[in-house]
Structure 1
Amino acid sequence: MHRRLAAVLVVVLSVFTFVSTASAQSTPTLSGIRTGQHAGFSRVVLDLSGLPSEHRVSEVTSVSQCGSGEPVTIAGGGVQEILSVTLIGAAAHDDNGNPTYTGSRNFATPGLSNVRGVALTCDFEATLGVAVGYANPASWHRVFTLTSPNRLVIDVGL
């Protein structure tokens, strides 16, 4: 009887040990931001460990930090319009609060013909906000995800 009870306890404890050490990052995380100029449009790419559950896009004239409400001036100057992109189910930090994206959180993009700057505006409760400032208010835009590797792509036309 005691042997059987001991065997059951060993099995139960090994399952609990396995579960606690097998946990993985629960929210896709940002690891990099890249930019590039293409014929007819400027591109901003967010490198992610997985895809967000959804993303929302809006054209705005100003942005603020989600936690503080403090206004954000996008680096680069000459910004006429801002594309605000919100990733629901994504973060720039891991489950322990360590940053997964260590680059600049507000930077100019001098190599691009229309996009002037990119700023992170939110990293709170699995919501990641990115603002893309551009010069031409008549520009078109498209935002989409790609896999292998996972990324969110933001294109802004000239």
Structure 2
Amino acid sequence: MNRFRLGPLAVLAGVVALLLGFLTPAAAAGSARAPYCGLVWGSLPESSAAAAAGLTVSDVRAGRHACFDRLVVDLRGPAAATGWSVRYVDAVHEVGSGAPVPLAGGAALEVVVDAPAYDRHGNATYLPPSRGAVVDVAGFRTFEQVAWAGSYEGSTTLGVGTRARLPFRTFVLLGAPGNDDAVRLVIDVAHRW
């Protein structure tokens, strides 16, 4: 009678094959939890202390993208990075009075840019069409409202009502097609985690 014996390498190969069979579904489940749209942003406060004199707010715009909603604060003046702070807060407050700014949505994102919405003579460089609706975000997936909180002592504050506390990123773009002096503060907020 001839008995078949497995050598140590054959046993090891069988164990590895068995483990791979069990791990493959786990690995597939792990890939299902990959970051939404490949985004690896968080929801903790972000800021930059860069100081650029002479910049003023000239416009506020919003746009929709496949994976996030975008808010852009256009600045006019010498092309240089400016300081800013973006963070989730319990409530955004009006600059000067401290009164809470009513915001729609499940979370409040405070955006502060170190640039006034007025020139050195006190003339407005930007006036929102409405304090409660700086830009129309009807139909956006993440933004519920963009509100004006004021511009005072060299900085401008906006409140962004979002559907929930979602991941975001903030960055500054210098220059634009046909305008090398353009500066844009960009805030992207993901549609989901």
Instruction: Calculate the TM-score normalised by the size of structure 2.
Output: 0.62
Q: Runs (4+) of structure 1 moved beyond 4 Å? A: none
Q: Is this contact kept in 1: 2:128–2:148, CA < 8 A?
A: no
Q: Is this contact kept in 2: 1:36–1:111, CA < 8 A?
A: no
Answering whether residue 91 of structure 2 is matched by residue 62 of structure 1, we say yes
Q: Is this contact kept in 1: 2:117–2:124, CA < 8 A?
A: yes
Q: 1:126-151 CA distances to partner (integer Å, 9 max, x unpaired)?
A: 111122110122x1101110011311
Higher strand share: 1
What code does the residue aligned with 1:45 have?
Answer: V
What code does the residue aligned with 1:93 have?
Answer: Y
The RMSD of aligned alpha carbons is 1.6
Give the unaligned 5+ runs of structure 1. Answer: 1-25
Q: How many residues align?
A: 128
The whole-number CA distance in structure 2 between the counterparts of 1:34 and 1:99 is 17
Partner of 1:87: 113
The whole-number CA distance in structure 1 between the counterparts of 2:122 and 2:185 is 22
Query: Which range is displaced more, 36-45 or 126-135?
Result: 126-135
User: For 1:43-54, what aligned pairs fall within 5 Å after superposition?
Assistant: 43-50=70-77, 51=80, 53-54=82-83
- Aligned residue among 14, 27, 42 for 2:69: 42
The whole-number CA distance in structure 2 between the counterparts of 1:83 and 1:27 is 26
Counterpart of 2:123 in 1: which secondary structure? coil
Instruction: Calculate the TM-score normalised by the size of structure 1.
Output: 0.74
1:52 CA drift (Å): 5.6
**Larger gyration radius, structure 1 or structure 2:** 2
User: For 1:106-121, what aligned pairs fall within 5 Å after superposition?
Assistant: 106-107=132-133, 108-121=136-149
User: For 1:108-147, what aligned pairs fall within 5 Å after superposition?
Assistant: 108-137=136-165, 139-147=166-174
Identity of aligned residues (%): 35
